[in-house]
């Protein structure tokens, strides 16, 4: 899953949420260098990724893209799924998306000194273009995919995946909805387990 899903699945603790958000840049046992809440968030992130990568419905979405985008298909599906979460946010949260995103950005700024350098450097771009809120529109997703394509030095062709999004929109949305309901249950259970483990 991509940024919005990871933050949403983190519960109500700001530091757990930030830990989940930064987790991609934390390798191996390096997570142990962070405070307890960050560690819970990082381990939750890894659980979400493992659950997602092995799920048959996600593989169905990925398979639709694989011939054209190869190993980038999984990254694309993560981004497309964040679009459907943002678009249907009212089904998953009582807090309006714009308010949720603003609160999360404020939390990042509050805990700025705890963030890894790579996240600190990324923040101005994320805030300027309001990445998380932009996921709700196809135009916003198109810009995200263009940015990801530039990061691969234009090798991935990911910017063209907005065409598949529009062509198979209903199929992707159905798959996301089915999968995300299961992911919520699994993530909530894992978060409870981790919180209990770290409370000992």
For the record, the structure tokens of 129 come out as 């273009």
Q: How far is the C-alpha of 188 from the C-alpha of 173, rounded, in Å?
A: 22
For the record, the structure tokens of 52 come out as 């997602």
Greatest alpha-carbon span in the chain: 50
Q: What is the pLDDT of residues 108-133, one digit of tens each?
A: 999 999 898 999 999 998 999 899 99
Coil, strand or helix at 14: helix
Q: How far is the C-alpha of 90 from the C-alpha of 97, rounded, in Å?
A: 8
User: In the prediction, which pLDDT does 150 show?
Assistant: 92
Q: What is the dihedral of CA 102, 31, 33, 121, to 10 degrees?
A: -40
Q: How far is the C-alpha of 121 from the C-alpha of 119, rounded, in Å?
A: 5
From first to last of the 200 residues of the chain, give the pLDDT tens digit: 789 999 999 999 999 999 999 999 899 999 999 999 999 999 999 999 999 999 999 999 999 999 999 999 999 999 999 999 999 999 999 999 999 999 999 999 999 998 989 999 999 989 998 999 999 999 999 999 998 899 899 888 999 999 999 999 999 999 999 999 999 999 999 999 999 998 87
Query: Rounded to 5 degrees, what are φ and ψ at 111?
Result: -105, 25
Q: How far is the C-alpha of 105 from the C-alpha of 11, rounded, in Å?
A: 16
């Amino acid at each position: 899953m991509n940024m919005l899903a990871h933050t949403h699945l983190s519960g109500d603790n700001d530091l757990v949420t930030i830990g989940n958000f930064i987790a991609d840049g934390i390798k191996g046992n390096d997570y142990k260098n962070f405070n307890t809440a960050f560690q819970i968030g990082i381990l939750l992130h890894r659980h979400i990724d493992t659950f997602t990568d092995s799920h048959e419905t996600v593989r169905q979405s990925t398979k639709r893209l694989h011939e054209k985008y190869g190993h980038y298909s999984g990254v694309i599906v993560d981004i497309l799924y964040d679009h459907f979460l943002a678009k249907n946010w009212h089904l998953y949260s009582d807090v309006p998306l714009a308010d949720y995103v603003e609160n999360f950005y404020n939390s990042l700024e509050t805990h700025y000194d705890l963030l890894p350098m790579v996240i600190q450097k990324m923040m101005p771009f994320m805030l300027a273009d309001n990445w998380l809120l932009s996921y709700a529109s196809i135009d916003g997703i198109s810009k995200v995919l263009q940015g990801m394509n530039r990061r691969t030095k234009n090798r991935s062709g990911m910017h063209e995946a907005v065409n598949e999004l529009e062509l198979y929109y209903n199929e992707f949305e159905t798959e996301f909805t089915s999968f995300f309901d299961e992911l919520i249950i699994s993530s909530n259970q894992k978060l409870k387990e981790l919180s209990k483990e770290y409370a000992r």
